[in-house]
Amino acid sequence: MTIAIILGAHGSVSEQLLKTTEMIVGKQKNVAWIELLPEENTEILIKKYNTCLLNLNTNEGVLFLVDTWGGSPFNAAHNIILNKEKYDIVTGVNIPMLIEIFMARDESHTFQELVQIALKSGNESIKSVKYCSGTNQLDGDQNTNKNKILRSLFNKNNKNHMVICLARIDDRLIHGQVVTRWVKEYNITRIIVVNDAVSRDTIRKTLLTQVTPPGITAHVLDIDKTIRVYNNPKYAGEKVIMLFTNPTDIVRLIEGGVPINSVNVGGMAFYKDKKQINNAISVNNIDIEAFKKLDQYGIELEARKVPSDPSLKIMKLIKKINHS
């Protein structure tokens, strides 16, 4: 039997990639795909992957092909492959990669050989018609006036503490939107996940610190340690992103003396005791009370998945469900 393939990506990309590839190489067996919906988190994706595995022949191994390193489809797959032989993940899935993998599976390659084929074909298929690597140099300084203004604001009055460029609530924590969009928006090199329970979970903590791309350092700290780290002169002036799973933890951090002026909410998954305030954010009564307290503290509360999205006021969204 052939090596099992599972595609995982944001939205419906996986299904369309498979359909397009099958138009070229024909219908494939021992293949599955999952999609990531806006209201879903890593735990839900793990369940989806496990359902796929039940319907696949995994004797020869399982290769997960996902869109981005550090995204939720990657993080969920990473949780599954731990301590399993002939289980691996390749990121950056594209059609040329799939074509080569599907054709190579029929030629009795080993699992490691198939991984190497995926890496080689995926990389070699990325080309430019006019730009040839090694013959031209891209401008090294791409800083805009906006970035210069941000840097001056960050450096001002932050001589003794780290600079919190973004405080974000996102129960997926470190994933694609964070590492590909927000990190670049503020030129961040350090991410701090702030959560008491996650900091005690050795497996999840290890996963989170491993999924960041090169050049980014991730830490998972409890709230008390985060306060100590914020006040440590060693990190003075360093720009960081702080990630939370809920607004209550932010209230605790602020009341512990860490100043936060604004909170970005990217995603809070739906559960049975929650109400949806938009397609990516669901809240329960505890969350609502915490948001109210943050609002009373004069903190700006916005809903926005990525920097290019329009900013929506959290309190206005909450008022809508209270009056519905």
Residue 139 has pLDDT above 70, yes or no: no
Query: Does domain 145-322 fall into CATH 3.30.70.120?
Result: no
Residue 78 has pLDDT above 90, yes or no: yes
The type of residue at 220 is V
pLDDT digit string (tens) for 160-203?
789 999 999 999 898 877 887 898 889 998 999 999 999 999 98
Per-residue confidence at 155, pLDDT binned at 50, 70, 90?
very low
String of DSSP letters for 157-182: T-SSS-EEEEEEEETT-SSHHIIIII
**CATH architecture group of domain 4-124:** 3-Layer(aba) Sandwich (3.40)
What average pLDDT does range 236-243 have in this prediction? 93
**For 214, which DSSP code?**
T
d(CA 204, CA 191) in angstroms, rounded, equals 15
3-class SS at 133?
A: strand
Verdict on whether the full-model pTM lies above 0.85: no
HSE (side-chain half, CA atoms, 13 Å) at 37: 9
3-class SS at 268?
A: strand
Contact 305, 280 (CB under 8 A): yes
- Domains of the chain, residue spans: 4-124, 145-322
Cα angle value 239/245/246 (rounded, 5°): 105
Which residue, among 15, 10, 28, has the nearest Cα to 76 in the 3D structure? 10
What average pLDDT does range 35-52 have in this prediction? 93
Contact 91, 68 (CB under 8 A): yes
Active-site annotation, residues? 10, 175
pLDDT at position 323 is 62
pLDDT digit string (tens) for 200-232?
999 889 888 887 877 889 999 999 999 999 999
pLDDT at position 149 is 39
Residue 110 has pLDDT above 50, yes or no: yes
Per-residue confidence at 58, pLDDT binned at 50, 70, 90?
very high
Residue 322 has pLDDT above 80, yes or no: no
